[in-house]
């Protein structure tokens, strides 16, 4: 009986972790945060801030990086690596952050 309850509790907490991981944020944002910051404020002088930037503008830039009309090796790689859905989620996240 005791083992059974423990198992139920364990399953419940695993489900919670699963739900958290299912959110686009975490892992996806981490791949951008290295340069643009988790808060959308870049740490390097040559990297633009994304916090509070216009959403449509950023989506356009991602498309431009992907098709090569805006040239930048790292951003081209990032834009090609991710699917449209992921890019939309990430851009929505950055657009919603407070600008500095």
51 binds ligand HEC (CB under 6 A): no
User: Quick one: CA dihedral 83, 84, 89, 90, positive or negative?
Assistant: positive
36 binds ligand HEC (CB under 6 A): yes
Degrees to nearest 5, angle at CA 53 with 47 and 59: 90
Q: Distance between CA atoms of 70 and 28, rounded to whole angstroms?
A: 22
82 binds ligand HEC (CB under 6 A): yes
78 binds ligand HEC (CB under 6 A): yes
Which residues here bind ligand HEC, judged by CB under 6 A? 31-32, 34-36, 46-48, 50, 53, 58, 61-62, 72, 74-75, 78, 82, 90
């Amino acid at each position: 009986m005791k083992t059974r309850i423990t198992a139920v509790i364990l399953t419940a907490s695993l489900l919670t972790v699963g739900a958290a991981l299912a959110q686009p944020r975490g892992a996806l944002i981490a791949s951008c945060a290295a340069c643009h910051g988790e808060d959308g404020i870049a740490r390097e002088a040559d990297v633009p801030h994304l916090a509070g930037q216009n959403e449509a503008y950023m989506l356009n830039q991602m498309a431009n990086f992907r098709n090569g009309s805006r040239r930048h090796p790292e951003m081209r790689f990032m834009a090609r690596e991710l699917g449209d859905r992921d890019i939309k989620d990430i851009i929505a996240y950055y657009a919603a952050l407070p600008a500095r």
